[in-house]
Structure 1
Amino acid sequence: MDILEVNKTDYELCNSEHPLHNWTRGAGRDVVPLNVTRDYYFLSSKGFCYGGMKIAVHVENPPPPPTASPLNEKSGSPSSIFTSQYVLPTVFVIGSLWDAFLRFL
């Protein structure tokens, strides 16, 4: 198999007659750098493209890293401790009681 870079029209038609670049190195050393933001079109020649041996790749710039949110000074307050320590177990207790009630009926 070979890896040929082609334009969009040749990609859609499976035309390998005028490749932009031949990335075939052999023995599994076929490496294509995708370091430019654009659309890339690759196919395999000798009729293999018609069997599905083609791929289009859209390369975008990576999104900016997320910004750190400011620390909430109330995170250590008693109200947040109350909600994290008691609300979830209370929900489980209410769920268990409701389940027992429905089984009793």
Structure 2
Amino acid sequence: MNVLEVNKTDYENCIADHPLHNWTTGAGRDVVPLNVTRTYYFISGKGFCFGGMKVAIHVHNPPPPPSASPIRSASPVRFSTFRSQIFVPALFAVAAVWDSFLMAL
């Protein structure tokens, strides 16, 4: 068996005549670095591709590592927290009254 990297057209049609790269090193120790974000197409030559010996691998960038959530401490209530707990509901209440007033006109 051999490992041939080909383009998409050659992959779809199992054409091994002009591979982009021959990764065959022998004894089943073929190693292919997949370090670029793209789709890789590999086939096995000598007619084995027609029997299903082919694979397409799409390599993505790794996701960013998760950020650590902030540690909450038992700190006293701040003005901004108080303001968001009072101001935002009050704003919605005023908006609802204003909307009702405009509907009554």
**How would you bin the TM-score normalised by the shorter chain?**
0.5 to 0.7
CA distance in 2, matches of 1:43, 1:72: 54
Give a deviation string over 1:11-57, Cα, whole Å, max 9, x none: 00000011000000001220000011111000001110011100000
Alignment correspondent of 1:65: 65
Q: Aligned runs of 1:1-105 on 2, under 5 Å?
A: 1-73=1-73
Number of equivalences: 74
Amino acid at match of 1:41: Y
Name structure 1 gaps, 5 residues minimum: 75-105
Deviation per residue, 1:41-85 (Å, 9 max, x gap)? 0000111001110000001110000000012336xxxxxxxxxxx
SS in 2 for 1:57: strand
Q: Which has the larger radius of gyration?
A: 2
Return the alpha-carbon distance in structure 2 between the equivalents of residues 28 and 47 of structure 1: 18
Percent identity over the alignment? Answer: 74
Return structure 1 stretches of 4+ with deviation > 6 angstroms: none
The 3-state SS of whatever aligns with 2:50 is helix
Q: Distance in 2 between matches of 1:42 and 1:5?
A: 4
Richer in helix (by share): 1
**Alignment RMSD (CA, Å):** 0.9
Question: AA paired with 2:33?
Answer: P
- Aligned counterparts of 1:62 and 1:68: Cα–Cα separation in 2: 18
Q: Secondary structure at the match of 2:69?
A: coil
